[in-house]
């Protein structure tokens, strides 16, 4: 293997370990606010994967770029769906406004 590839694999493995440690330490109360931040990061990943797929330098990079586009798109859409559902839990029911006041 070439040296740049070994350095890239080393950085990738370290990023996996650091990411796992950081995410596992987050308390459940903070998961909703962090979801919007992770959606932004997934959007950046989507842009990067579009660039990688669109350059078309080698067929391997195009295939890996397209896989990255698909997975990043699923991640972004799923993240927004979960965030919307969680924010919907905090909305006031419209049926509560129509109930008569208790005497």
Residue 103 reports pLDDT greater than 70: no
Domain boundaries, the chain: 32-85
Q: Scanning the structure block, which residue is given the tokens 């903070």? A: 30
pTM to 2 decimal places:
0.55
DSSP single-letter state for residue 100: P
Model confidence pLDDT, tens digit, residues 6-64: 888 888 899 888 888 877 777 766 666 666 677 777 788 888 888 878 877 888 888 88
Pairwise CA distance, residues 51 & 14, whole Å: 24
Pairwise CA distance, residues 83 & 74, whole Å: 14
């Amino acid at each position: 293997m070439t040296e740049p590839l070994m350095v890239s694999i080393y950085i990738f493995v370290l990023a996996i370990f650091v990411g796992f440690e950081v995410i596992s330490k987050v308390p459940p109360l903070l998961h909703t606010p962090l979801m919007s931040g992770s959606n932004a990061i997934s959007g950046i990943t989507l842009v990067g994967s579009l660039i990688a797929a669109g350059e078309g330098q080698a067929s391997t990079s195009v295939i890996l770029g397209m896989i990255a586009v698909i997975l990043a798109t699923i991640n972004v859409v799923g993240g927004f769906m979960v965030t919307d559902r969680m924010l919907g839990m905090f909305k006031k029911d419209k049926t509560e406004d129509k109930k008569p006041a208790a005497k």
